[in-house]
Amino acid sequence: MRDSVIVNEVGPRDGLQSLGSVLSVADRIALIRALNDAGLRHIEAGSFVSPKAVPQMAGTDELFQQLPLTESVNYSALVPNLRGYENAKAAGAQAVNVVLSVTDTMNQKNIRMSLAETTAACAEIVKAAKADGIHAHAYLAVAFTCPFEGKVPERVVLALVEKMLKAGADKLIIADTIGAANPAEVRSLIAKVTALTSANKVSCHFHDTRGMGLANTLAALDGDIREFDSAIGGMGGCPFSPGASGNVATEDVVLMLDSMGLKTGIAPLDLVAAIDTASKLVNKQLGGRSYNWLTQQIAKQTGGEHVA
């Protein structure tokens, strides 16, 4: 078992995009600094989407100009189309994420394009990024269950995996966008995906809608996956996907990995301050399953009660 795992923090993008309120660029930078302080070195910082469609992501070009620790932190940005890619490139993004929903209906509901059109658009962006020396990551969204079409056949996902690999994607992210997957499904699909490419090129993105986020993470770990998305405090949920509640919480993933002796470079207790910062910024109490336990450990160390 490889003992190092990358935890990719998606709170500043996936976590914030479904909020009813809109944070300023300064507040978003404050969140990213708190994540840096907690040890996060892989962060999806924002998306270059239309502010009319997702107002929470307005000003991402300005945000990328202010990102801290760019020498030591791997920042990425979601780009929905070629225009978004060009904007990300102009802002200095070194890694871009495309999102290919694996069903036709999800693409129609999300971006008003067919599956074929979205596949072609994602491939075009990936090829452009490769030509420009920018890392290109391809998300395979609703890879297990679509909120509109139901269970997704594995062959559909695998066919799209092959197309993104052919386009030159540096990484494939298998995404359980609505949190409907179970460990058996994860093991099965991951085994088939890693038969097509190295496990080093595969990551997973789980939501905790049905309480299976950590179980699915463990199932993917058993399949030799060593990179996972998560969101501080369990923030998130796709605004275009019914039933997509929060991402699996960063603190839960890190604590589980740390307890198993796997190295993330992140100390679980250090995440509490980042959770508290995020809670204050979004004016909502956040925290995954482990938050109360983590705060109790801090209180024991300091000899007092944890104050968020």
Checking DSSP bridges between strand 145-146 and strand 74-78, what pairing results, if any? unpaired
Predicted confidence at residue 136, as pLDDT, reads 98
Separation between Cα atoms, residue 39 and residue 274, nearest integer Å: 10
Per the CB < 8 A criterion, the answer to whether 16 and 56 are in contact is yes
Chain CA centroid to CA 74, Å? 13
Q: What is the CATH number of domain 6-302?
A: 3.20.20.70
Q: Is the pLDDT of residue 101 over 80?
A: yes
Task: Map out the domains of the chain as residue ranges.
Answer: 6-302
pLDDT tens-digit profile of 80-98?
999 999 999 999 999 999 9
Mean pLDDT of 51-71: 96
Q: Is the pLDDT of residue 56 over 80?
A: yes
Q: Is the pLDDT of residue 305 over 80?
A: no
126-144: burial string, b at 16+ Cβ within 10 Å, e else = bebbeeeebbbbbbbbbbb
Predicted confidence at residue 242, as pLDDT, reads 55
Mean pLDDT of 294-299: 95
pLDDT tens-digit profile of 64-83?
999 999 999 999 999 999 99
The mean-pLDDT minimum among 153-167, 210-224, 239-253, 265-279 falls in 239-253
In 3D space, the residue among 66, 12, 9, 60 whose CA is nearest the CA of residue 39 turns out to be: 9
Predicted confidence at residue 134, as pLDDT, reads 98
Token pair, residue 36, equals: 């840096």
Active site residue 238: yes
- Catalytic residue (one of 122, 146, 204, 238): 238
For residue 229, list its beta bridge partners: 8, 205
pLDDT tens-digit profile of 31-47?
999 999 999 999 999 99
Predicted confidence at residue 110, as pLDDT, reads 83
Q: Is the pLDDT of residue 190 over 80?
A: yes
Predicted confidence at residue 160, as pLDDT, reads 98
